[in-house]
Amino acid sequence: MKTLRLLALAALALSPAAMPAPAAADENFTVTCASSQLENGKTSCEGYALYTFLSSGPDAKIAIDLTAPPTHCSKVSYIVKSGAGTRTFGVTGRMDPGQMRRIGLGKGHPAGLLTVRIDAFGVVGGCNTGVMQSWGVNANAVLY
C-alpha cells in the first residue's frame, strides 16, 4: 500500500500545476526503540519515523501537525528534522496524550517529494519509568 501511495505521489510530482498544497493523508507511525537512554528526566529512543509528502514548491509555507496518540500513557516531545537528520526544524515541547502541535518547515522547499524525520523523547512519569520501548505519532503536512 505504501509503495502505491509513493508511486501516486511521484506521478503528481511530474505535473507541478497539479500541486496547490502539500499532498499527504494523515499518517500514523509506531516506532519501536532499539534502545533508550535516560537523562534529566527524559528518555531518548534509538528509532525514528520518516514522513514523506508532496511539496508544492518553494513559495509554499509548509508545516507538520504532530498529534500524540491518545493511547500514550506518559508525555512525549517530538523533534522534526530534515530527512537526513542534519537540520532541526523544531521541537514540540512536552505533549499530553491526544495533544497536537504544529512545527513550521518554512518556505524554499523544491516541488516534489519531501521527507522529514521525526524523533521523540519520553518524559518520565505515568508508565514511563525511565525506559522507552516505543512511541507513536500522527503526522500531517499543511500549508500555513
Which residue is it, cell 522547499? 109
User: What is the number of domains present in the chain?
Assistant: 1
Greatest Cα pair distance in the chain: 51
- Band of residue 23 on the pLDDT scale cut at 50, 70, 90: low
Q: Which three cell numbers stand for residue 33?
A: 526503540
Look at residue 24 in the predicted model and tell me its pLDDT: 60
> Distance between CA 78 and CA 89 in Å, rounded?
11
Per-residue pLDDT of 40-91, as tens digits, reads 999 999 999 999 999 999 999 999 999 999 999 999 999 999 999 899 999 9
- Residue span of the structural domain in which 95 resides: 2-143
Secondary structure (3-state) at 11: helix
Strand-pair partners of 65: 102, 140
Q: What pLDDT is recorded for position 39?
A: 93
34 sits in the region (left: phi over 0; alpha: psi -120 to 50; else beta) called alpha
pLDDT in tens, 107-139: 999 999 999 999 999 999 999 999 999 999 999
Query: Higher model confidence: residue 19 or residue 38?
Result: 38
Q: Which of 55, 31, 69 is nearest to 114 (CA)?
A: 55
Whichever domain contains 129, its CATH number is 2.60.120
> Do 71 and 97 touch, CB atoms closer than 8 A?
yes
> 44 has which bridge partners?
37, 121
**90 or 17, greater pLDDT:** 90
pTM: 0.82
Q: Are 62 and 109 in contact (CB under 8 A)?
A: yes
